[in-house]
Amino acid sequence: MPAIIVHDQGTIARLQAGEGELLFTVLRDHGYQVYSPCGGKGTCGKCLVHVRGYGDVTSCRFRIETAVEVILPLWKEARILTDQHALTRETNLQPGKAAKLSGQPYGLAIDLGTTTLVFYLVDLVTGTLVETRSMLNPQAVYGHDVISRIQYATVAGGLEQLHRTIIGAINSQSDIFLQHHHLTASDLVRTVVAGNNTMLHLLLGEDPSSMGQAPYTPRFTAMQVKRSQELGLYGHEHAEITLLPSVSAFVGSDIVAGLGSINFSDQGNYLFTDLGTNGELALVTPECIWCCATAAGPVFEGACISCGIGGVEGAIAVFSESGLGVIGDEKPLGICGSGLVDVIAYLLDKGIIDPTGLMEKNFEIVKGEDSAMGRPIYISPEDVRQVQLAKSAIATGIRLLLKQAGLTFEDVGAFFLAGGFGNYLNADNAMKIGLLPRQLKSKVVSLGNTSGTGALLAVKSISFLDVLNSVIKKSRRIELSEDPDFALEFAMNMNF
């Protein structure tokens, strides 16, 4: 009988399962609570757990054939999954003509992030999310943020290198999906991609250099449709690769997809923020969507931080005086954005950082012998400075969006946090350091990766594209640097 090792909230248990038994059934029968609105019938795709070597799998469809190691979601991840399910737009399964290309058609939704890539395999017969995998974006070796990659694309051979790298990354993950689920490339009949506009340009091999200087004009913002063979991606020869539409150079289809995925339109105004590499913000009102991009840089994705890494296995995502939480229950490799916020808040509480951001020496989080790399994990005074710049950019963007719309904090009905960063972010600590406004404390809702959710909806239903078009039509981009109050607001928001 195959053995199952289960990690749950810091405890480890060893279970036995019958060969071919469903993972969801084994976990449920042993008393583990796995979120499943459909009761394990295989229709909602929400009973996700992490299986080492496989990624996040839909447990009611994962049959146990050999010994596996399972990591159940932390309580915060589980709560976010519940909130996300409750606030996600309902769509009918309508994959379009592509579903007729194979006897067992599958779709692939991709969140194409600057730092992290997330892949979702979808059964287009049932609409179920079968498996989720993520990886660090291998383009990071050519630059951590979009501006540095745009610059690299201008050197001889740079654009082609960036294009080949992202195509190779997508194909490598597609190949894993195909092998694990005994599929052929011809069974991948529909792919939808959401991401920032720079990443979309690089995926198509389009020159992004016009976005690197004023007036920051992209070659395209409209939806793009290509064939697998055109891009060299795995899939059926007639499979469509759809790149979702963007608003502007720095308000990409990741934001459009996220906004389209939220079912909150009849309940007044709300703020939406994806605190990834670009720091994109949107203020949604019944009449208009005011949006902007802040120059936060990739701090909250782990870049520009001494021991920073993305939100991957081994990242310290939670920190407090009583201990730390590591994604995947691994030995720590480094610290990601949410853990960084927790540490800064702790250091402020202890007086190790003063309100101006002064810290006299490095603060050690993990000793060398306790880390995966055998080196200490720490925060430096320069790291604190980088956090100040990033959090001031976000705070300034929020205030100026409200000013442009003629609204106050009291007029905001909800404040949605999107992206992997929002999966673990402690809102109280984010408010303590001035990243998020205290006035919205009771209105914060973390929704996880809404860009991925939007891409999933688009894979499953071609009618969802109409929703995205309505988002585009309502959107109005604001250039923060042109606001006369920008410089003063930014300076005022620098202190903790």
Would you say how long the chain is, in residues? 496
Q: Are 493 and 480 in contact (CB under 8 A)?
A: no
Which among 253, 286, 314 is the end of a domain?
253
Inside any domain, residue 303? no
CA–CA dist 391, 495 (Å, integer):
10
Same domain, 209 and 151: yes
Query: What CATH code is carried by the domain that includes residue 65?
Result: 3.10.20.740
Residue whose C-alpha is closest to residue 116's, from 163, 156, 173, 71: 173
Strands 315-320 and 334-335: parallel
Q: Is residue 458 part of a domain?
A: no
Judged by DSSP in three states, 192 sits in strand
| 480 occurs within a structural domain | no
Same domain, 117 and 193: yes
237 lies in the same domain as 142: yes
β-pairing, 48-51 vs 68-71, is antiparallel
| Residue 46 and residue 154 share a domain | no
Query: Do 30 and 112 share a domain, yes or no?
Result: no
Supply 167's token pair.
């195509």
Model pLDDT, residue 47: 83
pLDDT of residue 76: 55
229 and 138 within one domain: yes
- The rounded distance, in Å, linking the Cα atoms of 189 and 97 is 9
pLDDT at position 279: 83
Residue 172 within any structural domain of the chain? yes
Domain count along the chain: 2
In this structure, what token pair is assigned to residue 171? 């194909």
433: in domain: no
Tell whether 355 is covered by a domain. Answer: no
Integer angstrom CA distances of residue 173 from 132, 327, 453: 10, 20, 18
pLDDT value for 83: 56
| Domain limits for position 64 | 3-73
Q: With a cut of 50, list the residues of the chain below it in pLDDT.
A: none
Please, are residues 383 and 361 in contact by the beta-carbon 8 Å criterion? Answer: no
Please indicate, yes or no, whether residues 180 and 211 belong to a single structural domain of this protein.
Answer: yes
* Greatest distance between any 2 Cα atoms in the chain: 69
Spatial separation of the C-alpha atoms in residues 260 and 450, rounded to whole Å: 9
Is 90 part of a structural domain of the chain?
A: no
Q: Please name the residues in contact with 406: beta carbons below 8 A apart, sequence gap of 6 or more.
A: none
Amino acid at 426: N
Cis peptide before 208 (omega within 30 of 0): no
Distance (Å, whole) CA 216 – CA 233: 29
Are 104 and 249 in the same domain? yes
Model pLDDT, residue 419: 81
Which residues, in sequence order, are CB contacts of 12 under 8 Å at separation 6+? 5, 6
Are residues 40 and 125 both part of a single domain?
no
Structure confidence at residue 23 (pLDDT): 92
Tell whether 135 and 55 lie within a shared domain: no
Q: Which two tokens stand for residue 447?
A: 């929704």
Angle at 118 between CA 17 and CA 320, to 5 degrees: 80
**SS3 at position 335:** strand
Which one of 253, 268, 291 terminates a domain?
253
Of 226, 253, 280, the residue that ends a domain is 253
Alpha carbon distance 22, 60 (integer Å): 6
Indicate which CATH number applies to the domain containing 160: 3.30.420.480
Q: Which of 122, 95, 98, 93 is nearest to 189 (CA)?
A: 98
CA-to-CA separations, 121 to 21, 129, 345, in angstroms, rounded: 21, 6, 38
Same domain, 237 and 113: yes
Three-class SS of residue 289? strand
3-state secondary structure 381-444: HHHHHHHHHHHHHHHHHHHHHHHHHCCCHHHEEEEEEECHHHHHCCHHHHHHCCCCCHHHHHHE
Question: Does a structural domain hold residue 127?
Answer: yes
The answer on 58 and 207 residing in a single domain is no
